[in-house]
Structure 1
Amino acid sequence: MAKYDVYGLGNALVDKEFEVTEQFLADNGIEKGLMTLIEEDTHFKLLDNLINTYGIKKRAGGGSAANSLVGLTQFGGSAFYACKVSQDEYGQFYSQDLADAGVQTRISELAIEGPTGKCMVMVTPDAERTMNTYLGITADLSVNELFLDELAQAEYLYIEGYLVPSPTACEAIEAAKAKAKAEGIKVAMTFSDPSMVKYFKEGVDKALGNEAIDLLFCNEEEALTFTETDSVAAAAQVLLKRAKKVVITLGPKGVSVFLENSEITVPGHSVDAVDTNGAGDMVAGAFLYGETQGWDDEKSAKLACKAASIVVSHFGPRLTAEQQKEILNAF
């Protein structure tokens, strides 16, 4: 029996959330709905502007894969996260945040100097999240932070698409996938954001690799953009050449799960959305929980839809452990 249900590989970021207007994004030349990488000086200028104009709504540990692993562990799964933070205040906050959620790391063994990554999450009145990210030292995530002995004890390797802009992170992905193949560990990946398939498609393509991975997560926009098709069904057929199982989120319409000869669509829940940040991450975390517990795809998708509907109903990318226990009890 595996020690970990999922071993995750991704960026480590401390999120700062703000409620902003559409006009603020336009005035500052920020592309709505996407994650944009920015330099440190731009980060501090924008941060000062946001704090002075709106004030911080919430600070929390973040990163796409980290959010998914927190979701998985709070449902009752087990996870290890390979990431890179420093010993600064943000890094200490991030490390403790993961520990409190039950996600195992070996961050304390790294003793790395430099700025921990940060992400400014700007939420407009329509609940759409737009992110500007200063990666800090996570931009140089490498094979040195992998702890492959931990990966050898996992059922799944889960790869975050946000890593592909970094050459050293791409090397880490290749090393992790090679280890997974050698150990018979299943591989899952998320596209993470439309910006990754729009601006870094070559890197995403390389991360997927020549052999079909076991499980791929993406949203409707990412699926259509990556495959250059005009329907979810057509996109799924293309993606099934790259993954044995494809989970596509459809926003309020729900989640579709595709295999070579089958399709399941679970409808979404009608809620008043406040903040869509973390919805896709929760879908992945909840679905992976069901997957590693031996659930069928429909039950896993229903759990994912329910959990995501609660996430978008409040600010922040995560649920409390108590909320997740209540959700799980219904299943």
Structure 2
Amino acid sequence: MADAKYDVLGIGNALFDVLVRTDEKFLANHGMTKGSMALIDEARAASIYRDMGPATMMSGGSAANTIVGIAGFGARAAYVGKVKQDEIGGLYIHDIRAAGVAFDTRPAADGPATGCSYILVTGDGERTMNTYLGAAQELVPSDIDPAEIAAAQIVYLEGYLWDPKDAKDAFVKAATIAHGAGRQVALTLSDAFCVDRYRDEFLDLMRKGTVDLVFANEAELHSLYRTSDFDAALKELRKDVKLGVVTRSEKGCVVASRDGVVAVPASPINELVDTTGAGDLFAAGFLFGLVRNAGYENAGHLGALAAAEVIQHIGARPQVSLKELAQQAGLPV
């Protein structure tokens, strides 16, 4: 197997995040379900934006947040995602490259605008997401560069992107190339909303070995196996995939493999400000631990550390060096 050019390459929805602090009344007035993710059209996006207060804007997207986190640990990271050749698309490209991530997907010259996610954060830190996918949905198999995929130690796929047929084909193409090159493929289930829609297809990807590693939170795991019994769901997960990692908020995480289950506690925090990006950054730390051969327990601690950093401020990108945080915590980098 050739040496890897990248430690992790992510594929996902390239979205520009618009974050705003709000209250329950705003959510109710706009018919939003607190804590959920809803797909919206351009008209609804404009209506939400019009009524919102002052916002924090930055490039985002679930897999992109993970990949930026991985770069923040000092690893070699790359990203594949579709934006349009418009003002926000230009900002997106600048942001992700400035974070040290290789990003070479050609922007679309026409079609829908660059996608945006309107993230409303209530006083308890819970985030409610309204996502206009826009150009992100235009990712096609030809955007997958076989040489780049084969050069990544782990290819990380975002469940949110498992919607348009072209994107699904791009996923499977990437996974096939990665396995052909002796690489690993990881999938994040992204949201219980995604699992409800694509349960059978996600299980199929796992059982056929298209993906080797699955990230889920408790809600996604329960949805995947249609049970409220955590232990029963975990038992099924261990049968269906080589490695499963389940995050449990303040209870930490569970790493489940065919060999057994390892529980890792959450990292302590001073104040919960915004849960946006918690799962994304957890995945960043865990994947970094894997590519550094740090073992499952240390990988879990690295994930918990990155998640704890991101939930203590607004926004889904780290505000300090994750590498330095890990060094201070005595974790392998």
TM-score, normalised with respect to structure 1: 0.94
Flag the 1:206–1:137 CA change in 2: closer, same or farther, 3 A.
farther
Q: Residue 72 of structure 2 aligns with which residue?
A: 74
- Structure 1 residue 26: Cα displacement: 1.7
Q: Residue 286 of structure 1 aligns with which residue?
A: 285
Is residue 42 from structure 1 mapped to residue 44 from structure 2 by the alignment?
A: yes
Q: Residue 119 of structure 2 aligns with which residue?
A: 121
Is residue 231 from structure 1 mapped to residue 229 from structure 2 by the alignment?
A: yes
Q: Residue 171 of structure 1 aligns with which residue?
A: 169
Percent identity between the two aligned chains: 37
Q: Residue 90 of structure 1 aligns with which residue?
A: 88
* Distance in 1 (alpha carbons) for counterparts of 2:116 and 2:207: 29
* 1:75–1:328 contact (8 Å) kept in structure 2: no
Is residue 162 from structure 1 mapped to residue 160 from structure 2 by the alignment?
A: yes
Q: Residue 14 of structure 1 aligns with which residue?
A: 16
* Distance in 2 (alpha carbons) for counterparts of 1:24 and 1:121: 12
Q: What are structure 1's unaligned runs of at least 5 residues?
A: none
Flag the 1:82–1:217 CA change in 2: closer, same or farther, 3 A.
same
- Structure 1 residue 170: Cα displacement: 0.7
Q: Choose which of 132, 136, 146 in structure 1 pairs with 2:134.
A: 136
TM-score, normalised with respect to structure 2: 0.94
What do residues 93-144 of structure 1 show as CA deviations (whole Å, max 9, x unaligned)? 111111111110113x445334111000111111111100001111121112
Q: Give the AA of the match of 2:251.
A: K
When the two structures are aligned, how many residues end up with a matched partner? 326
Q: Residue 109 of structure 2 aligns with which residue?
A: 112
* Distance in 2 (alpha carbons) for counterparts of 1:208 and 1:198: 16
Q: What are structure 2's unaligned runs of at least 5 residues?
A: none
- Structure 1 residue 209: Cα displacement: 5.6
- Structure 1 residue 321: Cα displacement: 4.7
Q: Choose which of 256, 262, 265 in structure 2 pairs with 1:264.
A: 262
* Distance in 2 (alpha carbons) for counterparts of 1:36 and 1:328: 38
* 1:303–1:328 contact (8 Å) kept in structure 2: no
* Distance in 1 (alpha carbons) for counterparts of 2:284 and 2:261: 20
Report the 3-state secondary structure (helix = DSSP H, G, I; strand = E; otherwise coil) of the residue aligned with 2:34.
Answer: coil
Q: Residue 5 of structure 1 aligns with which residue?
A: 7
Flag the 1:200–1:30 CA change in 2: closer, same or farther, 3 A.
farther
What do residues 32-76 of structure 1 show as CA deviations (whole Å, max 9, x unaligned)? 2121111111111111111xxx221x1111111000000001101
5 Å-filtered alignment, 1:192-231, equals 192-208=190-206, 210-211=208-209, 213-231=211-229
Q: Residue 147 of structure 1 aligns with which residue?
A: 145
* Distance in 2 (alpha carbons) for counterparts of 1:128 and 1:83: 26
Q: Give the AA of the match of 2:110.
A: E
Q: Give the AA of the match of 1:45.
A: S
Q: Residue 306 of structure 2 aligns with which residue?
A: 307
Q: Residue 273 of structure 1 aligns with which residue?
A: 272
Q: Give the AA of the match of 1:116.
A: T
- Structure 1 residue 246: Cα displacement: 0.7
* Distance in 1 (alpha carbons) for counterparts of 2:31 and 2:200: 26
* Distance in 2 (alpha carbons) for counterparts of 1:31 and 1:149: 42
* 1:75–1:321 contact (8 Å) kept in structure 2: no
- Structure 1 residue 25: Cα displacement: 1.2
* Distance in 2 (alpha carbons) for counterparts of 1:323 and 1:80: 17
RMSD: 1.6
Q: Give the AA of the match of 1:164.
A: W
Q: Give the AA of the match of 1:81.
A: Y
- Structure 1 residue 326: Cα displacement: 2.7
- Structure 1 residue 324: Cα displacement: 4.2
Is residue 317 from structure 1 mapped to residue 316 from structure 2 by the alignment?
A: yes
* Distance in 2 (alpha carbons) for counterparts of 1:5 and 1:152: 11
* 1:4–1:79 contact (8 Å) kept in structure 2: yes
Report the 3-state secondary structure (helix = DSSP H, G, I; strand = E; otherwise coil) of the residue aligned with 2:157.
Answer: strand
- Structure 1 residue 232: Cα displacement: 2.5
What do residues 140-171 of structure 1 show as CA deviations (whole Å, max 9, x unaligned)? 21112111210011111111000112111111
* Distance in 1 (alpha carbons) for counterparts of 2:181 and 2:48: 45
What do residues 196-248 of structure 1 show as CA deviations (whole Å, max 9, x unaligned)? 11233244335446226321101011001111122322212212233211110
* 1:240–1:259 contact (8 Å) kept in structure 2: yes
